[in-house]
Amino acid sequence: MPAFPVALLQPLIAHLSPSAIHASGADLEIELAPFVLGGAPVRTAIRLDGLSLPTHSLEQLAGQHMVFPLNPEPGYIDGSLYVEGRHHAVDVSELRFGELDSQGLAVTLEGHIHFDDGARFDDTALSLAARIARPFSELELDVLIDRAAADAGAASAQQSGKVMAVLSRNPRLRHADMALLHARVQARLLIAAASKA
């Protein structure tokens, strides 16, 4: 069987968050640009769950090189890639964190994609460079909200949905707590309306 065409896997942005399944771990999702495989359009991501990291701070991860055992050894990364109707294991052996800049933290993943029985691809080596989105500061978030409100023509808290629609297009906000973001949008709109009164 042929190897999977890994050149199709082009990272857009990655998100690091506290793990949903491991109390002290982290989850990393690498969003991939849409591609066509076997004539069918594919929208997917590589998910790495339960990462054992010394910190969730991008500043402290910068410059670190981490080696991980492979599944099923204790401490392995529970990784997957969803293509052709099923999840396939992604075994990660290394993560290399680069420099942190205004856009985020560079990370390079080394490992293998293991295709399930019946898949049309052989297990394939994977080397992927991505960028973990840097969370917005409070000030940056307020500036972003104010710009989105101006773009949407929103002048009152009742028009917060228009602002949320603009903000939802920002890939760095895809993993934000939308209830908290919505409350912040409403507060910014109330402040703006009060300052004009």
What tens digit of pLDDT does each residue of 18-67 get? 887 777 789 999 999 999 999 999 999 999 998 999 988 999 999 999 99
Specify the DSSP class assigned to residue 122: B
pLDDT at 101 over 80: yes
Q: Work out the pLDDT band at 179, boundaries 50, 70, 90.
A: confident
Give CA–CA dist 80/91, Å, rounded. 8
Please state, rounded to an integer, the average pLDDT across all residues of the chain.
Answer: 92
Give CA–CA dist 90/66, Å, rounded. 16
In a 10 Å sphere around its CB, with 0-12 CB exposed, 13-18 middle and 19+ buried, how is residue 110 labelled? middle
Spatial contact of 150 and 163, defined as CB atoms under 8 Å apart: no
Q: What's residue 103's pLDDT?
A: 85
Give 112-146 pLDDT, tens digit per residue: 999 988 889 999 999 999 999 998 888 999 999 99
